[in-house]
């Protein structure tokens, strides 16, 4: 798959949450090309790296869905790097996490997250949230052109 076709970068280490998210997007036909990274370091390498998975900012995803509790580099640090780099600053980032901790929420918004969603534990509610999230960010929202 050409890198320019990536619509969503999903950064999530929990296999069940990855499968639920992919199922929900497929069920509602919202995104054909979702790239998954399992830790924060791999996500940063995917976005900024020079290896075969590295991608120039102009071909970045239309949306990044980011868990906070990640191995190697946590989600808040990934968010900090994304929003501090001119090449990736305008890519919408939605935190999708189990953390309801007020310090996490406040820090995520301080760093420039576009939305903070606590993962529903109920399968149907999770699917509904993914449908709403995907419909808004991929169909309704008008993204900035990355240069």
As its CATH architecture, domain 8-138 has: 3-Layer(aba) Sandwich (3.40)
Confidence (pLDDT) at 56: 53
Percentage of residues in the chain with pLDDT exceeding 70? 86
Phi and psi at 8, nearest 5°, equal -130, 135
Phi, psi of 80 (to 5 degrees): -55, -45
pLDDT at 143: 76
Q: Tens digits of per-residue pLDDT, 73-115? A: 999 999 999 999 998 999 999 999 998 999 999 999 999 999 9
Report pTM: 0.86
Whether pLDDT at 53 is above 70: no
CA nearest to 89, candidates 35, 138, 37, 146? 146
Tally Cβ neighbours within 10 Å of residue 18.
17
pLDDT reported for residue 94: 96
Give me the pLDDT at residue 4, please: 45
Q: What is the mean pLDDT of the chain?
A: 86
């Amino acid at each position: 798959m050409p890198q320019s076709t990536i619509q969503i970068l999903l950064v999530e280490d929990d296999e069940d949450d990855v499968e639920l998210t992919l199922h929900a997007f497929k069920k509602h036909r919202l995104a054909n090309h979702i790239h998954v990274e399992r830790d924060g370091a791999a996500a940063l390498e995917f976005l900024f790296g020079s290896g075969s998975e590295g991608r120039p900012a102009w071909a970045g995803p239309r949306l990044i869905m980011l868990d906070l509790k990640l191995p190697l580099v946590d989600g808040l640090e990934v968010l900090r790097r994304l929003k501090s780099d001119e090449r990736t600053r305008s890519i919408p980032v939605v935190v999708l996490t189990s953390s309801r901790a007020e310090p996490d929420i406040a820090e995520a918004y301080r760093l420039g997250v576009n939305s903070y969603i606590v993962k529903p534990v109920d399968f149907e509610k999770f699917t509904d949230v993914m449908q709403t999230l995907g419909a808004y960010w991929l169909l309704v929202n008008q993204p900035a052109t990355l240069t």
